[in-house]
């Protein structure tokens, strides 16, 4: 123990203190003074060596000196010229003695904000709004002319569908909120704005439906977001990792979506949607394991088919998790399980293979994972080459050379396809990862190992919560009312209640007895 | 409170079902058949009576001392010293019972499937997994049980469907040819399983809907009774009175399945399900042991002692049971008496004492 009462192995003389301050801005205390020169000097000091910040001095009318400060590229120069410089220069300063009147009558800009401190000015300039400084005024004026190059609304590439809207979120927050607002016009849709990230000052929006959502959930979400103290948020993944319930889990505890329709349906179910500026991926909380297997299109196609497809997904989830392990377990320990004729053909193809089942499986699975990862990161033109090499070398040549057996290739291929059946990439990757430990267990303990691994995963899923909602909610704890969207996708006229997460909620989403039939309406 | 989790009464019932049925399904049919011949299907009904009694006793105790487990209220009823002694005895018994269950599970696996695997590997992997669940608390175990329960019931139905053509229904006759005697005798051993419902003493304090505890406890006993009855009927219809000579009759029934030339050798499937059941059973016993021990020792948390207890249980599973023969001897000669005596009669005594000496409780608690 040293003097500070810390243990000797903990003493670290040169340890840096972690940043306590969320915002690095040291200008918060600076107010604007009457002397424009001073203000200007402060701003110029702050923005020294920032070649993209433009200071434009001019005269309002003929006598009043003014400055407009903006960042080039974050607003269009034409707008500044046309709506700010031209009218102000041509105005008669004697007609409008103070700034407010001038703004009201001359400036043709709809979003205008009074600024009192330097920090406010910096914030506005940073977000692209030109700031107007004025001789003899203690205030500055922010002009909402921010406009920058943005990507067009495109079809979401990570969540493709046959039927359903084709537009996806973009990197621009305003576009994303407008896409949601266009679908849900009611003012009960609330969007609370906050800024996270010391340097990036990223705008984050917490959207929810007032009256549907459990208010404690919103409070919890906001509290968790407010806790974040980080230098920057560049993607919603940052936020996801900072607010999830159990960080030590391969399973995602928030759903990410690129589709506004998915986000809106989540809002209408009483979930909270978190939109982050700079990324097309919105976060949805809370989420259950089964909600991650619902694709947007399930709700647009006929319910019978959607139900069947959902079951296909569950089946292939099992296959993608267990098939290689089951194969390894069976060829290593439980040959008696296989019907005799199949066993003979399997044995024949494995005859020349020099590896034990586990090694063979690992070899193939790891190669497959490598191929897949290579295919994702490569430029599209080279991607084709990877798949050709993969198919020919790994598939054909490896079998011909007797390195792996043909059934193993089939198993790997089916596993690969099965993994693509999971509609959420983030769950798919979790399952992808978990199949390796189970393969080891299968290679050492056979079916017992597979079962132990499976039980461990289920127990882990049972411990998980997403914003307090049990991850397997619906199946365990058992809620038969929730089965309408888990075991089957019930038709819309039968989906009477919203899913229940926590606390009080607005239960009914539609009027009863809407099942359509051949009878004509009595009053047309 | 050591345990912060809460479960519903329904979850408790679902949790107890595999806890009792898991090991009972394996050996009960043959043990029962040895005494009851073709009346073996009646025995579970008699045996379940003690289950109902146990549930009612434990529930009555729970109503007198809500939010307390048996370890805690035994101190109130018996006094500090005697209560602690009783608790220590009970916990020692639970370690032994858990070890026994683990050993039976491992013996079955090693004997039927993994003939070359060292038994200690099978035991320790399972205990490690259970420790993982136990550390998660009663909520996690209950949720896992709920998730597994369909896999536990469906195969039994599947077995009926697939084997129906092979059933010889007339094997059930004559019913009670020698009176109720044989079936009562057959019930002597299975009733030991039903006394395990004493475990409710560790679960009832954590219910969200306490008033429903009794109802679901009784229903759970009933479901277990029904399951045993059905499984006994299946083996009776299939094998007749030869059941008595088999070690694991239901397993043999699964092996018997041959359907469409593809559904063969279903015993691996049965094994998989059996592992799930054993997992729940061991977890519940393990949990009760860990929680009870922590309460006995006045610890602030039971989680730190979960792994050490796991080692102890592993050791006990070798110390107390040298071989499979000993296991079945214990099952037949010891547990049918130990179970009702300790798990049913002692709680009943506690209950009676709590009526006789209610004043003591106040004196001690102040």
- A213-266: pLDDT as tens digits: 988 999 999 999 999 999 899 999 999 999 999 999 999 999 999 999 999 999
CATH number for B252: 1.20.1740.10
Instruction: With beta carbons under 8 A apart, name residues in chain A contacting B109.
Output: 448
CB contact under 8 A, A476 and B147: yes
Q: How many domains does chain B have?
A: 1
- Residue window 30-59, chain B: list those with CB within 8 Å of chain A: none
Please indicate whether residue A8 or residue A146 has the higher confidence score (pLDDT): A146
Q: Could you report the per-residue pLDDT of A347-385, keeping only the tens digit for each? A: 888 888 888 889 999 988 998 888 888 888 888 777 777
B114 touches chain A (CB under 8 A): yes
B125 touches chain A (CB under 8 A): yes
Do A274 and A206 contact (CB within 8 A), yes or no?
yes
For the residues of A372-396, what is the DSSP string, one character each? HHHHHHS-HHHHHHHHHHIIIIIII
From the list B109, B129, B262, the residue facing A339 with the nearest CB is B262
HSE on the CB side for B54, CA within 13 Å? 26
Q: Could you report the per-residue pLDDT of A476-502, keeping only the tens digit for each? A: 888 888 888 888 898 988 888 888 877
From the list A336, A455, A477, the residue facing B8 with the nearest CB is A477
How does the average pLDDT of chain B come out, rounded? 84
User: Which stretches of A277-375 are assigned E, i.e. beta strand?
Assistant: 282-285
pLDDT confidence of A7, banded at 50, 70, 90? Answer: low
- Residue window 268-287, chain B: list those with CB within 8 Å of chain A: 268, 271-272, 275-276, 279
pLDDT confidence of A25, banded at 50, 70, 90? Answer: low
- Residue window 290-349, chain B: list those with CB within 8 Å of chain A: none
From the list A336, A447, A462, the residue facing B147 with the nearest CB is A462
Instruction: With beta carbons under 8 A apart, name residues in chain A contacting B272.
Output: 447, 450-451
Residue of B nearest to A470 (CA): B143
CA distance B143 to chain A (A): 5
- Residue with token string 């099942």: A515
Nearest by Cα to A109 from A77, A135, A80, A137:
A80
pLDDT > 90: what percent of chain A?
34
- Residue with token string 């209408």: A268
- The whole-number pLDDT of residue A29 equals 67
Chain A positions contacting chain B at CB under 8 Å are 333-334, 336-337, 339, 445-452, 455-456, 458-459, 461-463, 470, 472, 475-478
Q: A–B: how many Cβ contacts below 8 A?
A: 85
Report pTM.
0.88
Task: Indicate which of B117, B143, B145 best probes the interface with A, i.e. most A CBs within 10 Å of its own CB.
Answer: B143
Do A84 and A67 contact (CB within 8 A), yes or no?
no
A219 CB neighbour count, 10 Å cutoff: 10
Q: What is the DSSP letter of B41?
A: T
CA distance B105 to chain A (A): 12
B258 touches chain A (CB under 8 A): no
pLDDT at residue B169 is higher than 60: yes
pLDDT confidence of B42, banded at 50, 70, 90? Answer: confident
- Mean pLDDT over residues A441-453, rounded? 91
Measured between alpha carbons, how far is B174 from A174 in angstroms, rounded to an integer?
81
HSE on the CB side for A148, CA within 13 Å? 16
- Residue window 64-93, chain B: list those with CB within 8 Å of chain A: none
Question: Would you kindly state where each structural domain of chain A is located, as residue ranges?
Answer: 36-143, 173-299, 307-463
B167 touches chain A (CB under 8 A): no
- Mean pLDDT over residues B136-145, rounded? 91
Residue of B nearest to A441 (CA): B125
pLDDT confidence of A109, banded at 50, 70, 90? Answer: confident
Within-domain flag for B237: yes
State both tokens at A228: 């974040």
- The whole-number pLDDT of residue B211 equals 84
From the list B11, B139, B264, the residue facing A339 with the nearest CB is B264
CA distance A327 to chain B (A): 14
B146 touches chain A (CB under 8 A): yes
Measured between alpha carbons, how far is A368 from A365 in angstroms, rounded to an integer?
5
- Mean pLDDT over residues B46-56, rounded? 90
pLDDT confidence of A138, banded at 50, 70, 90? Answer: confident
- Residue with token string 């798949």: A387
Nearest by Cα to A371 from A394, A399, A401, A403:
A394
Strands A465-466 and A131-134, by their bridges, are unpaired
Highest mean pLDDT among B17-21, B253-257, B311-315: B311-315
pLDDT confidence of B362, banded at 50, 70, 90? Answer: very low
Three-state secondary structure call for residue A65: strand
Measured between alpha carbons, how far is A263 from A296 in angstroms, rounded to an integer?
10
Within-domain flag for B4: no
pLDDT confidence of A522, banded at 50, 70, 90? Answer: low
- The whole-number pLDDT of residue A237 equals 92
Adjacent-strand bridge partners of B365: none
Instruction: With beta carbons under 8 A apart, name residues in chain A contacting B268.
Output: 334, 337, 447
Domain span including residue B135: 9-358
Nearest by Cα to A445 from A322, A320, A328, A324:
A328
User: Which stretches of A197-319 are assigned E, i.e. beta strand?
Assistant: 202-209, 255-257, 272-276, 282-285
B361 touches chain A (CB under 8 A): no
Please indicate whether residue B208 or residue A24 has the higher confidence score (pLDDT): B208
Measured between alpha carbons, how far is A200 from A233 in angstroms, rounded to an integer?
7
Instruction: With beta carbons under 8 A apart, name residues in chain A contacting B10.
Output: 478
From the list B132, B147, B262, the residue facing A475 with the nearest CB is B147
CB contact under 8 A, A448 and B275: yes
How does the average pLDDT of chain A come out, rounded? 85
From the list B109, B143, B148, the residue facing A477 with the nearest CB is B143
A468 CB neighbour count, 10 Å cutoff: 15
ipTM: 0.89
Please indicate whether residue B89 or residue A398 has the higher confidence score (pLDDT): B89
pLDDT > 70: what percent of chain A?
93
- Mean pLDDT over residues B272-288, rounded? 91
CA distance A270 to chain B (A): 24
């Amino acid at each position: 123990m040293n003097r500070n009462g810390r243990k000797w192995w903990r003493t670290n003389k040169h340890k840096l203190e972690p940043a306590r301050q969320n915002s690095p801005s040291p200008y918060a205390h600076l107010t604007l003074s009457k002397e424009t020169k001073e203000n200007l000097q402060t701003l110029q000091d702050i923005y020294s060596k920032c070649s993209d910040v433009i200071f434009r001095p001019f005269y309002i009318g003929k006598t009043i000196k003014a400055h407009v400060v903006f960042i080039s590229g974050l607003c269009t120069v034409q707008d500044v010229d046309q709506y700010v410089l031209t009218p102000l220069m041509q105005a008669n300063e004697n007609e409008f003695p103070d700034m407010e009147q001038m703004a009201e009558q001359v400036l043709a800009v709809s979003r205008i904000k009074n600024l009192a401190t330097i920090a406010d000015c910096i914030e506005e300039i940073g977000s692209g709004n030109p700031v107007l400084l004025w001789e003899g005024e203690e205030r500055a004026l922010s002009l909402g002319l921010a406009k920058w190059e943005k990507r067009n609304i495109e079809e979401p590439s990570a969540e493709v569908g046959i039927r359903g809207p084709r537009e996806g979120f973009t990197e621009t927050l305003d576009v994303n909120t407008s896409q949601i607002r266009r679908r849900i016009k009611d003012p009960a849709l609330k969007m609370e704005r906050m800024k996270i990230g010391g340097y990036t000052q990223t705008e984050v929006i917490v959207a929810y439906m007032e009256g549907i959502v459990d208010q404690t959930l919103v409070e919890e979400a906001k509290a968790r977001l407010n806790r974040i103290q980080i230098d920057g948020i560049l993607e919603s993944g940052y936020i996801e990792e900072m607010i999830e319930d159990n960080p030590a889990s391969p399973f995602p505890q928030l759903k990410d979506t690129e589709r506004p329709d998915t986000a809106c349906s989540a809002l209408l179910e009483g979930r909270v949607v978190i939109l982050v500026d700079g990324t097309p991926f919105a976060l949805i909380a809370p989420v259950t394991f089964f909600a991650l297997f619902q694709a947007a299109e399930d709700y647009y196609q006929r319910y019978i088919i959607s139900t069947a497809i959902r079951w296909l997904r569950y089946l292939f989830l099992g296959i993608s998790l267990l098939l290689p392990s089951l194969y390894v377990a069976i060829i290593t320990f439980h040959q008696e399980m296989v019907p005799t004729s199949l066993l003979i053909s399997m044995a024949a193809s494995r005859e020349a293979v020099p590896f034990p089942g586990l090694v063979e499986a690992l070899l193939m699975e790891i190669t497959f994972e490598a191929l897949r990862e290579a295919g994702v990161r490569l430029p599209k033109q080279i991607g084709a080459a990877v798949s050709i090499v993969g198919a020919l070398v790994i598939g054909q040549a490896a079998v011909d050379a007797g390195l792996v057996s043909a059934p193993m290739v089939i198993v790997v291929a089916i596993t690969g396809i099965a993994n693509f059946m999971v509609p959420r990439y983030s769950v798919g990757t979790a399952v992808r990862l978990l199949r390796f430990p189970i393969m080891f267990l299968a290679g050492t303990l056979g079916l017992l190992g597979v079962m132990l691994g499976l039980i461990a995963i289920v127990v882990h899923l049972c411990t998980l919560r997403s914003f307090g909602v049990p991850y397997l909610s619906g199946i365990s704890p058992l809620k038969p009312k929730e089965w309408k969207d888990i075991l089957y996708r019930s038709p819309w006229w039968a989906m009477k209640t919203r899913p229940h997460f926590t606390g009080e909620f607005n239960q009914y989403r539609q009027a009863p007895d809407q099942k359509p039939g051949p009878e004509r309406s009595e009053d047309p | 409170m050591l345990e912060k989790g809460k479960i519903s009464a329904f979850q408790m019932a679902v949790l107890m079902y595999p806890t009792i049925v898991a090991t009972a399904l394996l050996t009960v049919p043959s043990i029962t058949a040895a005494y009851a011949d073709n009346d073996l299907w009646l025995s579970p009904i008699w045996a379940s009576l003690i289950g109902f009694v146990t549930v009612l006793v434990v529930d009555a105790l729970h109503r007198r001392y809500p939010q307390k487990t048996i370890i805690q209220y035994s101190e109130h009823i018996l006094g500090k010293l005697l209560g602690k002694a009783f608790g220590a005895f009970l916990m020692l018994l639970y370690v032994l019972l858990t070890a026994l269950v683990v050993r039976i599970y491992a013996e079955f696996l090693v004997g039927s499937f993994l003939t070359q695997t060292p038994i200690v590997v099978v035991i320790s992997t399972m205990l490690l997994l259970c420790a993982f669940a136990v550390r998660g608390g009663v909520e996690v175990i209950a949720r896992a049980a709920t998730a597994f329960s369909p896999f536990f019931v469906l195969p039994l139905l599947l077995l009926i469907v697939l084997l129906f053509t092979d059933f010889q229904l007339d094997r059930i006759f004559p019913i009670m040819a020698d009176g109720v005697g044989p079936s009562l005798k057959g019930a002597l051993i299975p009733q030991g399983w039903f006394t395990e419902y004493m475990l409710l003493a560790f679960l009832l304090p954590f219910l969200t809907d306490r008033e429903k505890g009794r109802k679901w406890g009784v229903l759970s006993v009933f479901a277990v009774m029904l399951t045993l009855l059905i499984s006994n009927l299946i083996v009776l219809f299939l094998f007749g009175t030869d059941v008595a000579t088999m070690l694991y009759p239901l397993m043999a029934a699964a092996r018997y399945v041959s359907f469409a030339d593809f559904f063969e050798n279903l015993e691996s499937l049965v094994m998989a399900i059996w592992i799930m059941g054993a997992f729940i059973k061991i977890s519940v016993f393990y949990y009760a042991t860990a929680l009870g021990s922590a309460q006995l020792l006045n610890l602030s948390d039971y989680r730190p002692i979960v792994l050490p207890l796991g080692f102890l249980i592993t050791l006990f599973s070798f110390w107390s049971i040298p071989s499979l023969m000993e296991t079945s001897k214990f099952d037949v000669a010891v547990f049918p008496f130990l179970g009702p005596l300790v798990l049913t009669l002692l709680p009943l005594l506690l209950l009676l004492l709590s009526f006789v000496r209610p004043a003591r409780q106040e004196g001690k608690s102040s």
